[in-house]
Amino acid sequence: MHGYDPQKFPQMRGILIGTGPAFRRGVSLPSAQTVDVYALLCRLLGLKSPAGLDADFNRVRGLLQ
């Protein structure tokens, strides 16, 4: 284990800022898991997300057009 626990220290959580034609402007979503960003990147790149991951594209779907 390293660093600070983001559950105990919200100010240590990561941030995702997306820009480009695929992203909606001015959208802010509740926090998502890092693995959900993987699902988002797979969708943007047209790749099939591997089975067996805990990634849930639905948690980040609202970021896209």
Alpha helix segments (H runs only) across the chain: 34-45
pLDDT in tens, 18-65: 999 999 999 998 888 888 988 999 999 999 877 778 888 898 999 999
Query: Which pLDDT band, with edges at 50, 70 and 90, does 2 fall under?
Result: low
Which pLDDT belongs to residue 31?
A: 80
Q: Does residue 19 fall inside a structural domain?
A: yes
Which pTM does this prediction carry?
A: 0.74
Please tell me the least confidently modeled range out of 5-9, 15-19, 55-59: 5-9
In a domain, 17, yes or no: yes
* Domain count within the chain: 1
Is the residue at 54 inside a domain?
Answer: yes
Pick from 38, 39, 40: which is nearest to 27 by CA?
40
